[in-house]
Amino acid sequence: MTDLVDRAQWIAETVLFPDADRVDRTGVVPESHWRVLAAEGFYGVAARQDVDLGAMGEALEVLAGGCLATTFTWVQHHGVVMGLAGSDNTGLRERFLDAAVAGRVKGGVAFAGALADPPRLRAEPVDGGWAFTGDGPFVSGWGTVDVLQVSGVHGDSVVNALVDAKAAPGLTARPFDLVAAQATNTARLVFDGLRVPADRVLSTVGLQDFRAVQTFGSRLNGCLALGVARRCATLLDDLDQSAAAAAVRERVDTVRADLDAGLGNVDALLAARAAGSALAYRAAGAVVVAEGGRGVTTGGHGQRLVREAGFTLVAASRAAVKAALLADLTGAPDRPRSGRGGQDRAAMTSVEVTGSENIG
């Protein structure tokens, strides 16, 4: 256990998990959650040069097992931190990076519109900057975060800009009513020529390079489902179901190893992502069984975890993950679906649901 994982464990057990049911009922993450994460240095993890990637993933699992809504919202902040840290825009970096690392400025991301094929969010040059048109199909933290890293496609490039996370001429939000993790404050953002000055542009990168960089983000997204499964194992132990708990933990270890191996093989990574979500869903079902009637009543952990596991089935998904999950959960043949031009069109940071490539 590294110091990072130890601190994540302390936060999860003393702050997040004791409040998880209230966050679920109210749809609100207490400000104290963000303050603790900031005080313990968790807003600046992505800026650390010495961070161990394995420890970072395990810390994310632990936090997700404490409160999925808090963790799902917080983890997207690191896209902003990495964007600022790697930006050649000195003025923008100096203005925001230190504050982002300290958690004084909280960030979110709107990547999915650029990752989709064809793109759902485009950027066009205008006098003094860029205009963004299209949509961000599943953006979390609206009303919670201060800034968003917005990515729009222009030709064979992607323009990444830092915008204020609030309604403005050319930017409106359409909130979702989610059955789980409502406290993520997730919305579809509609861009109608939102003008962004050149001094708020973080970078312009090649489209293929932009998509390739998302592989590590997809690996981290797999931590969310494993975190839910780990919490299920803990609860199964508490319910005197030690054999079931041990089986879940063994499977978590296997999926984690497959996720790590998948960093060099996208197909294997997506298969492991699907396996992790299926595991979380089954493990949550096992908690409901072990809890009995309490598992299907308000306040029981089982019903919340089943819904949260369901959230991981679709959050940050891709078409290949959907196909693998349908095969796993139904026994149907695994037939990955491709988008136009034979490319996987569902973005890693979007949500895919039956009958629609993205929510909204």
pLDDT at position 346, please?
37
Q: What are 176's two structure tokens?
A: 């979702």
Task: Provide the residue type at 57 as one letter.
Answer: G
pTM: 0.91
> Would you say the CATH fold of 107-206 matches that of 3-84?
no
CA 197 to chain centre: 28
CATH top-level class of 208-351:
mainly alpha
Q: What is the DSSP letter of 358?
A: S
- Taking 70 as the pLDDT cut, the residues of the chain under it are 1, 335-360
Domain boundaries, given as residue ranges, for the chain: 3-84, 107-206, 208-351
pLDDT at position 336, please?
53
Residue pair 122/132 in contact (Cβ under 8 Å)? The answer is yes
CA 291 to chain centre: 29
Residues contacting residue 43 through CB under 8 Å, at least 6 positions apart: 37, 74, 77, 81, 100, 101, 102, 103, 106
Q: What are 124's two structure tokens?
A: 């066009």
CATH superfamily of 107-206: Butyryl-CoA Dehydrogenase, subunit A, domain 2 (2.40.110.10)
Out of 2.60.40.180, 3.40.50.300, 1.10.540.10, 2.60.40.10, which CATH number does the structure's domain 3-84 have?
1.10.540.10
Contacts 24+ apart (CB under 8 A), 177-180: 178/311, 179/307, 179/310, 180/24, 180/68, 180/304, 180/307, 180/308, 180/310, 180/311
Query: What is the full DSSP assignment across 310-346?
Result: HHHHHEEE-HHHHHHHHHHHH---------GGGS--S
- Neighbour tally for 193: CB within 10 Å: 12
pLDDT at position 338, please?
45
CA distance 64 to 115: 25
CA distance 182 to 315: 13
pLDDT at position 190, please?
98
CA distance 8 to 12: 6
pLDDT at position 335, please?
66
